[in-house]
Amino acid sequence: MSTTPTQREALDRVIQAGRRSLHTCFPARVLAYDVAGQTVDVEPQLMRELQDDEGALEYETLPTLYDVPVQWPRGGGHAITFPLKLGDFVEVQCAEQSTLVWRDSGIVSPPGISQPHGLNGCIAKPGWYPDTKRLANVSATDLVIGTEDGAATIRIKSDGTVVLGGKTGADYVALADKVDAELAKLAMTLGSLAGQASFGKPYKQGTSVGAKKVQAT
């Protein structure tokens, strides 16, 4: 049997209802990724809590969100990106107001839709996974960029050492100028042993041993 709520109870219900309509952030699962548009369609993973007239709690599934911009780490002319696929998880953050107008203009803009902390001002930040999908073998000392299984990585150690590829069997790479110098010594030694007239002349390398893009010190 329902009873008439007191003024305080009625006010509390209004405040709680208003709070439940405000969104901050929540995990979501990727349903589709538009590479060209840099947006995702996502399925929110948390249900919204509601309260009926009797004060009992109910739960409502949030709708699928479409064309949510992916927020890649970016700045100073640089960016970090990677492919997203079905089933990946992201963190959806909800802006103070709708960002639809600002997305098109890129300048200071009115919200266009008055919906504080609503679902029209969302961005998706890749990486918010449940505990059941923790990464394995996370380093406590190194910066590691690469595949989740560790098969292909760039590892930067605290002493400045950089390791390319998997951890197993990693070896130090040679530097072009040092390799060229050793080859020149070897060529002169072989020339001397063979009694060639070219002995003592500068070594001329036909093809550089240096990589075209990777540099090291």
Residues 6 or more apart in contact with residue 192 via CB below 8 angstroms: 199
Q: Which domains does the chain have, with CATH numbers?
A: 7-134 (2.40.50.230), 140-166 (no CATH), 173-217 (no CATH)
**Residue 33: CA count within 13 A, CB half-sphere:** 19
pLDDT (tens place) for every residue of the chain, 217 residues total:
456 777 776 666 666 665 666 888 999 999 999 999 999 999 999 998 877 766 677 888 999 999 999 999 999 999 999 999 999 999 999 988 888 889 889 899 888 777 777 888 899 999 999 999 999 889 999 999 999 988 888 988 888 888 888 766 667 777 777 787 887 888 788 777 776 555 455 555 566 666 666 666 5
- What is the rounded CA–CA span in Å between residue 176 and residue 131? 46
C-alpha to C-alpha distance for 179 and 202, rounded to whole angstroms? 15
pTM: 0.73
Query: Residue 29: which residues within 8 A CB-CB, separation 6 or more?
Result: 42, 43, 45, 87, 88, 89, 90
